[in-house]
Amino acid sequence: MTRVLKIGGSILTDKSRELQPRPDEIRRVAQEIAAHPDDVVLVHGAGSFGHIPAKKYGLPQEFNREGLRVTHRSVAQLCEMVIEALSHAGVEGLPVHPLSCLCLRDGRIENFFMEPIEEMLKDGIMPVLHGDVAMDATGKAAIVSGDQLVSYIARYLKADVVAIGSNVDGVLFSGRPLPRITRKELSQVQSAIGGSDEVDVTGGMRGKLLELLDLADLGIDSMIFNAGIKGNIARALKGEYVGTRIGGGN
């Protein structure tokens, strides 16, 4: 059973303060993942390690070489923290930095060298990816969100479980998480779906939902759930729908 799990930077970091990890949350998340580690591709969000430097350097609207380097360096640091916590929890993971194995065109993944990820899964190693800066064939500076990575990888691997954990109980409408959303219903609720309350250069909840609706169009349902609530990650990894289900499957 192949599973693609994203844990939002909103959980692993304090998004209001640059380079501010939440070590206790990183540890807890690692322990929850370690309870169901098989065939999991882990993607983590960039949180304040990515969104704040990116915004400071005007990425992705402006091409700024120093901004690309500094932003990549800090998200890679967060990735190391996640891998270290996984190792303490008994899971061996390895970093797969999107900057070095994929290329975008107009902000969308065009080529992605997936073989290292597939080999790691075969060898019982957890691939750990993250929202990152990336090269774009159009020559623009670019950012690839963890949410886009989830959608691409889930499609490529034909994942059985696709779960995006964030700091909210799902896609909220009138203050409550919708149990399910399909593209047909999007127009009725989209006015309530915004970006992020914090700095987020990849579209917050709206960005997340649009990526997952694309995936649902291909017949792969997913969920957006609250990874800040203990036990939810385990439930999601077991394939139980937690939070909001995206897609109209059975």
- Minimum Å gap between C-beta 196 and Mg ion is 6
Angle at 125 between CA 124 and CA 126, to 5 degrees: 120
Give whichever of 20 and 111 is closer to ligand ATP, judged by the CB atom.
20
Nearer to ligand ATP, 136 or 211 (CB): 211
Partner from ligand ATP, Mg ion, none binding residue 3, C-beta < 5-8 Å depending on class: none
Count CA atoms within 13 Å of residue 112 on its CB side. Answer: 24
> By C-beta, is 24 or 123 nearer to ligand ATP?
24
Q: Is residue 46 within the footprint of ligand ATP (CB under 6 A)? A: yes
Chain residue whose CB lies nearest ligand ATP: 45
Smallest distance from the beta carbon of 134 to ligand ATP, in angstroms? Answer: 15
- Residue 80 interacts with which of ligand ATP, Mg ion, none, CB < 5 to 8 Å by class: none
104 makes contact, choosing from Mg ion, ligand ATP, none, with CB < 5 to 8 Å by partner type, with: none
Of these, 132, 198, 211, 221, which contacts ligand ATP (CB under 6 A)? Answer: 198
φ, ψ of residue 171 in degrees (nearest 5): -85, 110
Q: Please say whether the beta carbons of 162 and 155 come within 8 A.
A: no
**Considering the complex, what minimum distance in angstroms separates the CB of residue 35 from Mg ion?**
25
**Binding positions for ligand ATP, 117-176, rule CB under 6 A:** 146, 166-168, 171-172
Return d(Cα 204, Cα 145) in angstroms, integer: 10
Residue type, 164: I
Distances (CA, A) of 243 to 129, 146, 178: 23, 19, 8
Choose between 19 and 125: whose C-beta lies nearer to Mg ion. Answer: 19
Ramachandran assignment for 96, one of left (phi > 0), alpha (psi -120 to 50 degrees), beta (any other):
beta
Question: If we measure between CA atoms, which residue out of 247, 45, 52, 58 comes closest to residue 159?
Answer: 247
Contact between 182 and ligand ATP per CB under 6 A = no
Q: Which residues in the 64-123 window bind ligand ATP by CB under 6 A?
A: none
Minimum gap (Å) between residue 34 Cβ and ligand ATP: 21
- End-to-end, the C-alpha distance of the chain in Å comes to 18
Strand partners, 104: 109, 136
Beta carbons within 10 angstroms of residue 82's beta carbon: 23
- Choose one: 20-28, 77-85, 204-212, 230-238; the region binding ligand ATP (CB under 6 A): 204-212
Using alpha carbons only, how large is the chain's radius of gyration in Å? Answer: 17
C-beta closer to ligand ATP: residue 220 or 224:
224
Residues in contact with ligand ATP by CB under 6 A are 8-10, 45-47, 51, 146, 166-168, 171-172, 192-194, 196-198, 200, 202, 204-205, 208
